[in-house]
Amino acid sequence: MLDFREPGDLGVFIDEQGVSQREQSIGGDGIYSGKELGFVFQTLRANDLIWPYVVGNYLKGKSPAAFDLLYWNADATNLPGPMYAWYLRNLYLENNLCIPDRLTMCDVNVDLGRIDMPSYVLATQEDHIVPWRAAYRTTKLIKGKTQFVLGASGHIAGVINPASKNRRSFWIDGTAGAEPEQWLASAQATQGSWWTHWMKWLKTHAGKPVAARAQLGNATFKPIEPAPGSYVKARVD
């Protein structure tokens, strides 16, 4: 999502007072707790991600069944406070990213319209974090040739959809430049994972294969520490 005018359910959490509070508390220094961020996402689908566990765990004393997507969902990552506060204001609150030259990053003015490379834009139909109609507007913000693909399911399951399972479906090749609903009405439904389509698209734009590095870094840029970095493990009180 590059155009945040319709951010979906997350928009109810974003206002000037809330963003200002974040800027004062962690905007200059600090860390935003991954657990708190995870709880925000859980509240968006409380009937699926909160109350079943209150009833089953707390009231009935049952252990939750093992579920790979919930394990993924529970693996929260802490975020740098200044980055998070900047992100909230400039994207969610003021929608500055899609305004040419409004933002500057690394001393470069940002204008999405100058992007002229091929782009593969993926959205998922039931995504409650990145509404697919908002993601579709990316195709109108950048000038390069775009391939828009709409996957079935939601924010996690629709993206993490291994081709070997041959589950779900995706839509491609709708009328370019149309509004989201018009695009979907003219799009072609395809059974299986969007991964196979993505791999074919990548091959048309790829150069010669390059062997993976045996060692990270070089004489100038030494490896700092193993990924994902120590900040994600910092305790936030």
CA distance 195 to 170: 10
Among candidates 73, 75, 77, which has minimal Cα distance to 34? 77
Q: DSSP code of 63?
A: P
* Residue 87 and residue 51 in contact, taking contact as beta carbons nearer than 8 Å: no
The pLDDT confidence band at residue 52, using thresholds 50, 70 and 90, is confident
**Which of 108, 138, 169 is the last residue in one of the domains?**
108
In a domain, 213, yes or no: no
Q: Are residues 96 and 15 in the same domain?
A: yes
Q: How far from 114 is each of 3, 87, 99, 109, CA to CA, in Å? A: 16, 21, 12, 11
Phi, psi of 127 (to 5 degrees): -65, 120
Is 192 part of any domain? yes
Q: Give yes or no: residues 35 and 96 share one domain.
A: yes
- Within a domain: residue 197? yes
Considering only residues 77 and 152, tell me which one the structure prediction assigns the higher pLDDT. 152
Alpha-carbon distance 186 to 175, whole Å? Answer: 6
Distance CA 18, CA 10 (A): 13
Q: Which structural domain, as residue segments, surrounds residue 198?
A: 115-205
CA 119/CA 146 separation, integer angstroms:
5
Is pLDDT of 65 > 80? no
pLDDT of residue 200: 96
Q: What pLDDT score was predicted for residue 168?
A: 93
**C-alpha distances in angstroms, 99 versus 2, 90, 103, 141?**
10, 11, 8, 10
Q: How much is the average pLDDT of 160-185? A: 91
Confidence class of residue 237 from pLDDT cuts 50, 70 and 90? Answer: low
With respect to residue 78, please indicate whether it lies within any of the assigned structural domains.
yes
Same structural domain, 137 and 96: no
Residue 231 lies in a domain: no
Q: Are residues 104 and 120 in the same domain?
A: no
pLDDT band at 234 (very low <50, low <70, confident <90, very high): confident
Q: How many domains does the chain have?
A: 2
Domain boundary among 60, 90, 108: 108
Domain boundary among 86, 108, 130: 108
- Same domain for 52 and 99? yes
Q: Rounded to an integer, what distance in angstroms lies between the CA atom of residue 56 and that of residue 62?
A: 5
Whether residue 30 is contained in a domain is answered as yes
Sort strands 31-32 and 79-80 into parallel, antiparallel or unpaired: antiparallel
Residues 35 and 80 in one domain: yes
Residue 69 and residue 124 share a domain:
no
Same domain (yes/no): 121, 188: yes
Q: Are residue 76 and residue 131 in the same domain, yes or no?
A: no
One domain, residues 120 and 84: no
Q: Is residue 225 part of a domain?
A: no
Please spell the DSSP secondary structure of 49-61, one letter per residue: HTHHHIIIIIIT-
3-state secondary structure 88-122: HHHHHHCCCCCCCCCCEECCEECCHHHCCCCEEEE
Taking the whole predicted model, whether its pTM rises above 0.85 is answered as: no
The answer to whether residue 228 is domain-embedded is no
181 and 94 in a common domain: no
119 with 75, same domain? no
